[in-house]
Amino acid sequence: MNAALAKFGAANGLLAPRTTDASQAPGTAIVELPDYTNQWQTFVGQITDENLQGIHSQCGLSLEFLRYARTQGWFGLIDLEASGCAWAHPLRDGRGVLVGFSYAGSDGEWPHEPSEADGCVFYAGNANVRSAMVFSSILDAFSILDAFAKAGSLEFLFKVCAVIVTFGPDCAETVARLTKNATHVHVWPANMDLTPNGSANEIEKWVNELSIRVNMAGGATVRRIYTPGGFQSADEWCRNALPTLEMVSSAISAAQPVDLLALPNAQDGLPLMIDACQIIIKPPPLPDDVIKGILHKGGKMVLGGGSKSFKTWILAQLARCVATGEPWLGFPTIKGDVLYINFELHTAFFAQRLKELGQNSNRALEDGALTLWNLRGFSADIDDLEARILQRCASRNFSLIIFDPVYKMLGARDENKAGDIASLSNALERIAVRTGAALAYGAHFSKGNQATKDSIDRIGGSGVFARDPDAILTLTRHEEKDAFTVDAVLRNHAPVDPFVLRWEFPIMKRDEVLDPSKLHRSAGGRGSKYTQDDMTGPLEGGVELKDGEWFEAVNGECGMAERTFHAKKKTLIAMHVVVDKRGRFRLA
């Protein structure tokens, strides 16, 4: 160890853990920094106003905050003799005891002195707070604290929150001990998508290890903050965007819980296997609903319907209802900010629709509650849009994001191919996870008489469209004009009985009188019975078809449900009417 550092450590008793009160049990003591006597007082005292002005010019931190940090002993100026002076920060162990310090090395690293201080952290706060923010960079932490200082809220922050800076995954156990009584722990890492190659894995490892250790120590759920505006770090965001306290608070509020069940194993990159008894005893918190009994935050909902079934009107109605907290189709909503991504309507016509919806509402739409992103003419592959959507959403805490219609994001994908639709669904899933918002989107029905199909089989294209979302709502024409039967298939909520909506311009209203089972049947519809000719017709003339091609041909001709098709196919093969030739089917 450097002689000056050794002298400093020995003079201040930093080489061995110690507490200020022998009656305090290990793991409960959060001691203050030592009185500014001895060497520490000297090092803090060496920080002149000129030094603070230099930091202000170089890092952009306000002089007000820097003076406050100096009085709190959050950094000191130490003499490294041959290599000059360096900035140092105090380190604490899992009991909150001062055990050493970290200093700015000439190679850009922050070595610890003494070496026993490895795994210790910078800690600012007291033992009584129930919340903590954890950073991996002292500059990130100071930049966010500076935003509170500029708003005159720094003293208030430390009444409710502690601030911790770690130095990698090895500090996870220390953080866990310091936060074992906390109910809220927020971690603010660098944005992985913007980090240099190789560092993203380290960031992910850091976040994952912290989340597991903190949860095991006290049961707190770790929430992850994403730096807004497409910036790599909180420091970069603060330097360039000059965020207000309101913007910082919004970023914190938008933090997403780290899903312990989905965390990857360090050895194989797959999620950890977890004892079921543990998650029963300490279950992860359920996400908040956006539409009560239908859709929760982080979930996906598809609204399926035939051509001109008012899907865009209904989705616009949904957007306004969530933005104002009004019921939607008879279901209560939880008021929250909404983003509507419109690929279909001209802006002027969409604005007209919103005005007409507002005239049929008792609640005014507040500024900022509903954001419209008009992308008509800019439809693109979801692979191109995903990063831009995440960047636009990073500084907002949207409860609901609506895509209308979803097929505009297919790009070169084939909506009839399961693999193509699965990749689209995965991209939507990532948007839901990163933003924490619920997603809703419209999809069209397949051809044929919808009355003869199961509700889940009515949406066109690959079956993935109708099986991936957490909530599936289908609008099937009722025998009454301008009426539709709604069937709901829900993954995470209790079943909902079918009901009828009636179109009363410009909104849909529930009709409690009409029978939901009275569906409109196309002229010449075949009801629920099919003939053998329905199955064999597409194979006539020596035609050979793959399974999916055969089903699409039969379904398009008579509307046969997929489940019915496979049952009849099995019968025809058993009767030797149809031959299965290595996955291709033809008449015998």
Q: Which pairs with CB-CB distance under 8 Å and at least 24 residues apart come from 205-209?
A: 205/169, 205/266, 206/136, 206/166, 206/168, 206/169, 206/172, 207/258, 208/258, 208/263, 208/264, 209/169, 209/172
pLDDT of residue 21: 33
What does the domain layout of the chain look like in residue ranges? 1-119, 121-285, 289-511, 532-587
Better pLDDT: 465 or 372? 372
pLDDT score for 23: 31
pLDDT for the residue 215: 80
Whether residue 308 has pLDDT greater than 80:
no
Whether the per-residue pLDDT at 353 is higher than 90: the answer is yes
pLDDT band of 34, cuts 50, 70, 90: very low
Grade residue 141 by pLDDT with cuts at 50, 70 and 90.
very high
Give 115's pLDDT tier (boundaries 50, 70, 90): low
Under 8 Å CB-to-CB from 474, ≥6 apart: which residues?
303, 304, 305, 445, 455, 456, 458, 459, 486, 487
CATH number for the domain running over 289-511:
3.40.50.300
Q: Comparing C-alpha atoms, which of 476, 475, 463, 470 is closest to residue 440?
A: 470
Whether the per-residue pLDDT at 14 is higher than 50: the answer is no
Regarding predicted confidence, which is higher, 247 or 272? 247
Average of per-residue pLDDT across 503-512? 93
pLDDT tens readout for residues 315-325: 999 999 999 99
Q: What is the pLDDT of residue 159?
A: 82
User: Which DSSP string corresponds to 552-567?
Assistant: HHHHHHH---HHHHHH
Contact 338, 402 (CB under 8 A): yes
Cα 300 from Cα 401, distance rounded (Å): 10
Kindly report which listed range (78-82, 194-198, 538-542) carries the lowest average pLDDT score. 194-198
Give yes or no for a contact between 235 and 197, defined as CB atoms under 8 angstroms apart: no
- Determine contact, residues 499/486, Cβ cutoff 8 Å: yes
- Taking only the tens place, the pLDDT of each residue in 390-432 is 888 877 889 999 999 888 888 888 887 888 888 899 999 989 9
- Give the pLDDT of residue 524: 47
Q: What is the pLDDT of residue 264?
A: 62
CATH fold, domain 121-285, is: Rossmann fold (3.40.50)
Q: What is the pLDDT of residue 393?
A: 84
Tens of pLDDT along 549-566?
888 888 877 778 888 888
Buried b (16+ CB within 10 A) or exposed e, 12-35: bebbebebeeeebeeeebbbeebe
**Predicted pLDDT at 410:** 86
283-296 pLDDT, tens digit each: 777 889 999 999 99
Residue 68 has pLDDT above 70, yes or no: yes
Higher pLDDT, 120 or 351: 351
Give the range among 55-64, 186-195, 343-352 with minimum mean pLDDT.
Answer: 186-195
**97-123: average pLDDT:** 71
**Longest CA–CA separation in the chain, Å:** 99
Asked whether the predicted pLDDT for residue 94 surpasses 50, the reply is yes
Q: Which of 83-97, 207-221, 377-391, 407-421 has the lowest average pLDDT? A: 83-97
Q: Which amino acid is at 211?
A: S
Q: What token pair was written down for 413?
A: 């994908």
Which one has a higher pLDDT value, 199 or 419?
419
Of 195-209, 262-276, 494-508, the range with the highest mean pLDDT is 494-508
Q: Would 121-285 and 289-511 be classified into the same CATH topology?
A: yes
pLDDT value at 2 more than 70 = no
Ramachandran angles phi, psi of 494, nearest 5° = -65, 150
Q: Is 60 exceeded by the pLDDT of residue 193?
A: no
- Of residues 448 and 464, the one with the higher pLDDT is 464
Average model confidence (pLDDT) for the chain?
Answer: 80
Which carries the bigger pLDDT value, residue 257 or residue 506? 506
Residue 70 pLDDT greater than 80, yes or no: yes
What's residue 527's pLDDT?
44
What's the pLDDT at 13? 31
Which pLDDT belongs to residue 81?
Answer: 59
Q: Indicate if the pLDDT at residue 258 is higher than 90.
A: no
Confidence of residue 502 (pLDDT cuts 50, 70, 90): very high
| Least confident span in 5-14, 305-314, 511-520, 562-571 | 5-14
Assign 312 a pLDDT band (cuts: 50, 70, 90).
Answer: very high
Q: What is the reported pTM?
A: 0.59
Predicted confidence (pLDDT) at residue 192 exceeds the cutoff of 90: no
